[in-house]
């Protein structure tokens, strides 16, 4: 299956999943997960076997500016990974797990800035080159969902079109 047709198939299933989390049958869910893992392998350059993948959403590398307020100070950081369920923010001073934030995401080319609430789910400082925090989105309305979904779709398409990514040639489930 070509990259274009894999993305089209994935987007079709993903849209149904977005509209209704229980809309996919078991076979479609397995196919969605396999395609998600293959797309992420193309994006990141290393495989994640579907049986080991626990993520609920597709994620993609990005380089976006993000702002948030913490202890009466505005912090500007780099968002380096984005998915429909959350993001990873690079920072040498990650906030404590459980911290709620209002993030202002600055997508530059894609569209205007938008705000979304998030909660720090995990953080790491052990490796300074990879220090940061994982933030789970708390989407309060349809406008926020559409903004995140649109930005993820755009970022995936841009990343795949500007690299030498290749998906596996065969998809047995689809």
- Give residue-wise pLDDT tens across range 59-96: 999 999 999 998 889 999 999 999 999 999 999 999 99
Q: Is the per-residue pLDDT at 49 higher than 50? A: yes
Q: How many domains does the chain have?
A: 2
DSSP string, 13-61: HHHHHHH-TT-S-HHHHHHHHHHHHHHHHHHHSS---GGG---SS-EEE
The rounded distance, in Å, linking the Cα atoms of 8 and 157 is: 11
Whether residue 150 sits in one domain with residue 71: yes
Which pLDDT band holds residue 169 (cuts at 50, 70, 90)? very low
pTM of the model: 0.86
Please give the Cα distance from 161 to 85 (Å, whole number): 23
Clarify whether residues 53 and 63 are in a common domain.
no
For residue 89, what is the domain's CATH number? 2.40.10.220
Q: With cut-offs at 50, 70 and 90, classify the pLDDT of residue 163.
A: low
Same domain, 35 and 109: no
Same domain, residue pair 18 and 63: no
Which residues constitute the domain of residue 111? 59-159
């Amino acid at each position: 299956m070509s990259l274009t047709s894999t993305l089209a198939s994935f987007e079709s299933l993903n849209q149904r999943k977005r509209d209704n989390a229980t809309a996919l049958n078991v076979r479609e869910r397995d196919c969605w997960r396999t395609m998600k893992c293959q797309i992420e392998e193309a994006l990141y350059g290393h495989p994640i076997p579907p049986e080991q993948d626990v993520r609920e959403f597709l994620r993609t590398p990005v380089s976006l500016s993000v702002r948030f307020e913490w202890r009466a100070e505005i912090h500007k950081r780099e968002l380096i990974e984005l998915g429909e369920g959350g993001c990873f923010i690079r920072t040498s001073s990650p906030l404590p797990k459980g911290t709620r934030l209002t993030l202002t995401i600055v997508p530059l080319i894609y569209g205007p800035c938008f705000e979304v609430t998030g909660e720090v789910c995990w953080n790491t400082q052990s490796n300074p080159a990879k220090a940061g925090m994982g933030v789970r989105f708390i989407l309060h309305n349809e406008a926020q969902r559409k903004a995140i979904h649109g930005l993820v779709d755009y970022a995936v398409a841009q990343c795949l079109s500007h690299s030498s990514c290749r998906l596996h040639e065969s998809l047995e489930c689809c």
